Amino acid sequence: MLHMNVLERFKKYVRQNNLFNPKERVLLAVSGGKDSMLMATLFVEAGFDVIIAHCNFSLRGQESDKDEELVSNFAKQHQIRFLSKRFDTIDYADRHKVSIQMAARDLRYHWFEELRSEQQCQYVAIAQHQNDHIETVLLNIVRGTGIAGLQGIQVKRDTIIRPLLFLDAQDVASAVSALNISYRDDQSNFSTKYARNKIRLEIVPLMEQINPEFVKGLCQSIEHFRDSFALLNQFVDPIRAVLFKNEELKEEIVIEKVEMAPYLKNIPLLYALFEPYHFQKNVLMDMVNTWSNGNGRIFESKSHRMLMDRETLILSPRFSICQNEDVETFITEHDTAVYWKGIHFKIGNTTPSTISFNRNVAYLDWDTLTFPLEIRSWREGDYFYPIGMVGKKKISDYFIQQKINRFDKVRVPILVDGSGKIVWVAKYRLDNRFKITDNTKKVFTLVCE
């Protein structure tokens, strides 16, 4: 039987922080390290309904595979559903111009959220403890993230829960040893070339020489920081609620520049307004300095991108299918429906006599098409012969004419036929070469919903 003190403390912590209902299913993120293996053991012994998810980032060869094997065996032993996924983390980091650590973070959290929804889990449990908590604060202080960064790790945020924050690293190590829990160490955790590891291995031990209760004391200070931040937000939140407007059916937030303008000189307030989107002060200063002539510029944080458009600022999550320009969907002669970036296309045939105008519907002369057709985002150099205009036109110029911003450009479906010709800029305009005529015998119909 699991050491009752740790188990009871765990169950009490879950109750006190209202982390989840005991009847709800929780997705456990289990790497194979001592923290996550202890967390998995606690959930199992408490009798909670769980699924285990494991990320193999393909960074350590056979060592990564052995981590996966350990977690898989644990799941089999306890008859728990086990899901794993292998990522090409280096390729992702290269393509998105981010560090390996940031790439791994993006990949795992995106996958966890997909799994949470697919597997009907209410929450994703991450095995971070008090030392992770204070390391985050110290790292944020070094990076200059302001008062928001002094809050550390939240025990519950949206669908993410951290049920081990009642333990410090020594507590975890003692429990794992006493309970003889199998785990594997990632040797990269002992390399001080990473900033977080340097804090863990060098800075914290040095501070504990000055004050053996350093971890506990800083955790108490973090609570005070959190209270101060809550007080600040009582003032900032109402202003943000007026300025930051959610776009219907989109992941974006739109800010009218004319409404934001009065706040540009108040940099502390500006920083507080954008804090949930993690923009650094120097980035916001750059935005202010280019306010009058920065149309089309994009400003980035670790979680969001912000487009300065003609009359608005548009905030969009960085990790979004709408920002993925490589999505392609093919249509054969026999398809009846396809999806592209969450947009549903219905496919059918009709006769010329049943046609009526609708900008969401393309009526095309079947005999002019070369299959398979393709739906994709626009690419540099794309051009078409738009109905109602003379000659050909670059799609990039057409987007400018239609005042389509840089974020929305990658959302516009471009229908291309098998010969590489642009057939339809969906919801905007058909290409003249594929329109129906008096000689059309069969009509290909594509409905964009």
User: Which of 3.30.70.270, 3.40.50.300, 3.40.50.720, 3.40.50.620 would CATH assign to domain 4-220?
Assistant: 3.40.50.620
237-253 pLDDT, tens digit each: 999 999 999 866 567 89
User: By C-alpha distance, which of 25, 51, 43 is closest to 164?
Assistant: 43
- Res 165 pLDDT > 50: yes
- For residues 274 and 284, the answer to whether their CB atoms sit within 8 Å is yes
* % residues pLDDT > 90 (the chain): 55
Average pLDDT value for residue range 160-181: 93
Q: Cα(26)–Cα(122) distance, rounded to whole angstroms?
A: 6
DSSP state at residue 200: I
Burial bucket for residue 407 (CB in 10 Å: 0-12, 13-18, 19+):
buried
pLDDT of 340: 85
CA 279 to chain centre: 16
What is the average per-residue pLDDT within 46-55? 95
Q: Nearest to residue 227, comparing CAs of 126, 120, 284, 151?
A: 151
pLDDT tier at 4, thresholds 50, 70, 90: low
Q: Can you tell me the distance from the alpha carbon of 16 to that of 11, in angstroms, rounded to the nearest whole number?
A: 9
At 247, list the tokens.
């776009």
Average pLDDT, the chain: 88
Domain range summary for the chain, segments of one domain joined by +? 4-220, 244-319, 323-448
- With a cut of 60, say whether residue 2 has pLDDT above it: no
Question: Is 275 strand, coil or helix?
Answer: helix
**Superfamily per CATH, domain 323-448:** Phenylalanyl-trna Synthetase, Chain B, domain 3 (3.50.40.10)
Quick one: which H or E segment has residue 422? strand 422-425
By mean pLDDT, which of 6-15, 92-101, 370-379 is the weakest? 92-101
Reply yes or no on whether the pLDDT at 321 is more than 50: no
How far apart are alpha carbons 379 and 402 in whole angstroms?
17
Tell me what pLDDT residue 338 has. 87
Alpha-carbon span 320 to 346, nearest angstrom: 24
Helix axes 89-96, 100-118, angle to 10 degrees: 110
Q: What is the mean pLDDT of residues 204-215?
A: 92
Residue 279 in contact with residue 267, Cβ under 8 Å? no
CA distance 57 to 63: 11
- Strand 343-350 with 337-340, pairing: antiparallel
Q: Which pTM does this prediction carry?
A: 0.61
Token pair recorded at residue 428: 């905007």
Under a CB-based contact definition with an 8 Å cutoff, are residues 199 and 139 in contact?
yes
Q: Which is more confident, 2 or 329?
A: 329
Q: How far is CA 37 from CA 1, 40, 59, 71, 164, in A?
A: 16, 5, 20, 8, 11
- pLDDT value, residue 350: 66
